[in-house]
Chain A
């Protein structure tokens, strides 16, 4: 059989249709396609793909099970190392991780590892019994701060070993960025809810509406009898550009915009939470967050959506698939452009004019790529006299986030680096005894799979420390 040079396409909703709904864009492989795609895998002995996966999923092994149509077996292989395959199969930047090192990728397109992983997980969730057996309690108690991928993974691994685990979450729903950030059309909420349900069946206690540092402190958790604490509080603090006009009405952080839409359900037909929709929208930034904000704005009914990014397509850090989907949907990419000021309406004759204080446009300057910096990335430099105004009604800043200082500020002896990230050793142990940390709270904004990996590492280290 000749080798198929290309990945099997995953069916998607057509761009014209999906631009107006919040249902999932990509529809997943059928069994037939999954088996065909699995057959492209060469079962390489040296397994380069496995080393490029942050949690070292035994990729050829699970793909072999798909080839044999042993889908349950494939799921078992994946779940040995990953606890959120339905999530990672959807949102991992495969092109820079597992698939980047795939042998097939040297001459052809790599094996669609992410799509296969998603297929296996979805099939399991659709047909699996959902039964989980509660392990024998081992008498130890651990508290987890934050219910994002790092916290959920750490909680799950410890619960499976018999720990009594309580997860404290500041918001009213568990899931972290998976529920408040990443939109429904890319990661349906019910997938996350299902993962959370599984944890509950394992005996994990999830306490929402508890802000550690406010409602309870880390020290109080120890007083309450927890023997170890894992901090997976993410990097939720939004950055702004500090340019004039950023406090005008109609300027959002991506976090606010996405939270209003996702968590507060402003995407529903008759929402209780307001959000600016319609009109022209500019999203500043080039990462996954920017793509999600732009595509959410489009689905909420914007006439025209720009992505304004100061570097070129090559440096755009978002997942490739999302960039392609965004382009198909008609998002207008204004690359090598950088905002310098946001303009607002001001009627000097009538201070009560209701339009006063609302965004009317964004001044941008064109950029060119200069010399490479220390990390080899070519630095964008402004072109003199190239300023122009983009007429827009809403501006969404998606230029990154930092770890929230709330826990650091209320916990003595917890050290952070200059970016606000908690300092940990290779096991995830912080500068405080019996306090571990992982995920974005340590690294700054990164990926779901790396947060998950950190949760796993810490769970193992906690187990070693408490039962040694």
Chain B
């Protein structure tokens, strides 16, 4: 069992927790993830390592409540325990030779992007962060990003806070103004990452995207997390859990990934409703 050390509610649907898992805390690097199971009957879900405290042996996770499992997890409190917690999985984000980076995060993707931004800041790179949310209520981690960014641009889709518009707007402005980055790293909904890649393309700036397909084992055993890259005109299959989650944005077949992401849509919606109904009876 893995104890929940702390819990913080970041916005109505985003929760941060520190989980006691010393072996994972010792090893995890930015860009890697863990897989957890809340209880014996639970599903395995992947979440990014949002930070570690090696002394306490704790791993920080930040998750958005979107479905049955995250709903159950979000209802636990400090002092409770979760059944399984394995990691760190995946390849850490490449940082070598990157002196000037632009981090583009969307929604809960910002939670995944934050440790990456912090790592670049720690390594002394110049960090520009563009973080976008649907509305003011959903803004998370603004202070954390400010602390590790040389420049921070906050966007909301509806203009209810900070700048109005989506993240590609300021990105395009910067690129058009002649600004160049060694790398743009984007993490968020697939559709957003697709458009960030398209925005950067005319300027020839490299783009790294963080793919988050449905996963089970996280060790390369099931192939459920597979995605297609188009490399030199040829399609190659990769497993996001072991080959990623970071990939070259110009190679990823986003349309296929978006389609695969819809595989269990109906099932998940029903499962979430069931968990919510269950808790309605309790509360």
Residues of chain A whose beta carbon lies under 8 Å from any beta carbon of chain B: 170-172, 180, 208-211, 214-216, 236-238, 240, 242, 246-250, 252-253, 255-256, 259-260, 264-265, 272-274, 276, 354, 356-357, 404, 406
A250 to B133, CA, bound (A): 32
One of B100-108, B144-152, B222-230 contacting the partner: B222-230
Residues of chain B within 8 A (CB-CB) of A247 are 226-228, 237, 256, 260
A246 to B223, CA, bound (A): 11
B216 contacts A256, CB within 8 Å?
Answer: yes
A240 contacts B68, CB within 8 Å?
Answer: no
B85 contacts A256, CB within 8 Å?
Answer: no
A208 to B23, CA, bound (A): 12
Asked if B242 is at the interface of the complex by the 8 Å CB criterion, the answer is: yes
| Contact among A170, A260, A272 with B271 in the assembled complex (CB-CB below 8 Å) | A272
Min CB gap A367→B, angstroms: 25
A369 to B223, CA, bound (A): 31
A260 contacts B259, CB within 8 Å?
Answer: no
Residues of chain A within 8 A (CB-CB) of B226 are 240, 247
Residues of chain B within 8 A (CB-CB) of A264 are 43-44, 216
Residues of chain A within 8 A (CB-CB) of B42 are 272
Residues of chain B within 8 A (CB-CB) of A209 are 84-86
Can you give 24 A-B contacts (C-beta < 8 A)? Answer: A170-B219, A172-B83, A172-B84, A172-B86, A214-B88, A215-B27, A215-B86, A216-B23, A237-B220, A238-B222, A247-B237, A247-B256, A255-B221, A255-B223, A256-B216, A260-B216, A264-B216, A272-B43, A273-B43, A273-B216, A274-B264, A354-B262, A357-B262, A406-B220
B172-215 contacts to A, CB under 8 A, are none
Residues of chain B within 8 A (CB-CB) of A238 are 221-223
Asked if B37 is at the interface of the complex by the 8 Å CB criterion, the answer is: yes
A151 to B9, CA, bound (A): 43
A354 to B37, CA, bound (A): 29
Instruction: Across the interface, name the chain B residue whose C-beta is closest to A250.
Output: B263
B222 contacts A259, CB within 8 Å?
Answer: yes
B80-111 contacts to A, CB under 8 A, are 83-89
Instruction: Across the interface, name the chain A residue whose C-beta is closest to B263.
Output: A249
Q: Told that A209-B84, A237-B221, A272-B68 touch, could you supply 16 new A-B pairs with CB distance under 8 A?
A: A172-B84, A210-B23, A210-B86, A240-B223, A240-B226, A247-B260, A249-B263, A250-B263, A253-B224, A255-B222, A259-B216, A259-B217, A274-B263, A274-B268, A354-B262, A406-B220
Residues of chain B within 8 A (CB-CB) of A357 are 259-260, 262
B253-267 contacts to A, CB under 8 A, are 256, 259-260, 262-265, 267
Residues of chain B within 8 A (CB-CB) of A406 are 219-220, 242
Residues of chain B within 8 A (CB-CB) of A180 are 221
A253 contacts B86, CB within 8 Å?
Answer: no
B219 contacts A404, CB within 8 Å?
Answer: yes
Residues of chain A within 8 A (CB-CB) of B268 are 274
Known contacts being A249-B259, A272-B42, A274-B268, is A214 close to B84, with CB within 8 Å? no
Residues of chain A within 8 A (CB-CB) of B237 are 240, 242, 246-247
A214 to B220, CA, bound (A): 13
Main secondary structure of the interface of A (DSSP, over half): loop
B217 contacts A214, CB within 8 Å?
Answer: no
A209 to B259, CA, bound (A): 31
Residues of chain A within 8 A (CB-CB) of B37 are 172
Asked if B41 is at the interface of the complex by the 8 Å CB criterion, the answer is: yes
Instruction: Across the interface, name the chain A residue whose C-beta is closest to B84.
Output: A172
B41 contacts A272, CB within 8 Å?
Answer: yes
Asked if B61 is at the interface of the complex by the 8 Å CB criterion, the answer is: no
B221 contacts A215, CB within 8 Å?
Answer: no
Known contacts being A209-B84, A274-B267, is A214 close to B260, with CB within 8 Å? no
- B1-32 toward A: CB 8 Å interface, digit per residue (1/0)? 00000000000000000000001100100000
A256 to B241, CA, bound (A): 14
A256 contacts B41, CB within 8 Å?
Answer: no
Instruction: Across the interface, name the chain B residue whose C-beta is closest to A234.
Output: B221
A236 contacts B259, CB within 8 Å?
Answer: no
Residues of chain B within 8 A (CB-CB) of A216 are 23, 27
Instruction: Across the interface, name the chain A residue whose C-beta is closest to B274.
Output: A270
Residues of chain A within 8 A (CB-CB) of B52 are none
B221 contacts A236, CB within 8 Å?
Answer: yes
B23 contacts A404, CB within 8 Å?
Answer: no
B69 contacts A272, CB within 8 Å?
Answer: yes
Residues of chain B within 8 A (CB-CB) of A356 are 259
> Which of B83, B85, B223, B228 is packed against the most chain A CB atoms within 10 Å?
B223
Instruction: Across the interface, name the chain A residue whose C-beta is closest to B256.
Output: A247
Instruction: Across the interface, name the chain B residue whose C-beta is closest to A401.
Output: B221
Residues of chain B within 8 A (CB-CB) of A208 are 84
Instruction: Across the interface, name the chain B residue whose C-beta is closest to A258.
Output: B222
Instruction: Across the interface, name the chain A residue whose C-beta is closest to B72.
Output: A272
Instruction: Across the interface, name the chain B residue whose C-beta is closest to A240.
Output: B237
Residues of chain A within 8 A (CB-CB) of B263 are 249-250, 274, 276
Residues of chain A within 8 A (CB-CB) of B271 are 272, 274
3 closest residue pairs by CB, A with B: A357-B259, A256-B222, A274-B267
Residues of chain B within 8 A (CB-CB) of A172 are 37, 44, 83-84, 86
> Which of A170, A210, A248, A260 is packed against the most chain B CB atoms within 10 Å?
A170
B219 contacts A253, CB within 8 Å?
Answer: no
A357 to B257, CA, bound (A): 10
| Contact among B88, B227, B260, B265 with A354 in the assembled complex (CB-CB below 8 Å) | B265
Residues of chain A within 8 A (CB-CB) of B24 are 215
Min CB gap A281→B, angstroms: 16
Instruction: Across the interface, name the chain A residue whose C-beta is closest to B67.
Output: A272
Min CB gap B22→A, angstroms: 10
Instruction: Across the interface, name the chain B residue whose C-beta is closest to A239.
Output: B223
A265 contacts B221, CB within 8 Å?
Answer: no
A406 to B219, CA, bound (A): 8
> Which of B23, B68, B268 is packed against the most chain A CB atoms within 10 Å?
B23
> Which of B27, B89, B222 is packed against the most chain A CB atoms within 10 Å?
B222
Min CB gap A142→B, angstroms: 19
Residues of chain A within 8 A (CB-CB) of B88 are 214-215
Residues of chain A within 8 A (CB-CB) of B27 are 214-216
Residues of chain B within 8 A (CB-CB) of A211 are 86-87, 89, 219
Min CB gap A66→B, angstroms: 39
